[in-house]
Amino acid sequence: MQTLDRIAFAAQRFAREPRQVGNARRWASRVLSTWGIEQIDTIVVCMSELATNAVLYGAGAQVRVQLTGSSDLLRVEVHDLGSGRPHQRCPSPMDERGRGLLLVAALARQWAVEPEAVGNVVWAEFGVSYQREEG
């Protein structure tokens, strides 16, 4: 089984526009695939939810997405310049929005919101395994 023998890091900035969330998903999928991580779909779904929240409710011209991996842990961070703090909601069955952080809480090992000097970082951590090396 392949594992990361050191800390792996990747970060990218995206315009804070709804159409850029898809670009962030594709970028994260490529990075995680290159690293050989098996849980790509789960991690990318959660990253997409965090990025969507930053686009819809954050501030500033850009959103920064960061991936940090080790031998058994992957951390996704989404940074924006908004002053509000994201929080889980309890949507009614008829609400069209409000389930993103519930999904992240269900799929991630843990997640949190941390204030920065300007804005917030919302992060989620996942236990990971790696694809077997061919050969």
Answer yes or no: is pLDDT of 1 > 50: no
Range of weakest confidence among 5-9, 37-41, 118-122: 5-9
Model confidence pLDDT, tens digit, residues 11-41: 999 999 999 999 999 999 999 999 999 999 9
Give the CA-trace dihedral at 106, 108, 114, 116, to 10 degrees: -130
Residue 40, both tokens: 């790509």
CATH code for the part of the protein at 8-127: 3.30.565.10
Model confidence pLDDT, tens digit, residues 37-95: 999 999 999 999 999 999 999 999 999 999 999 989 999 999 999 887 766 666 667 65
What does pTM read for this prediction? 0.87
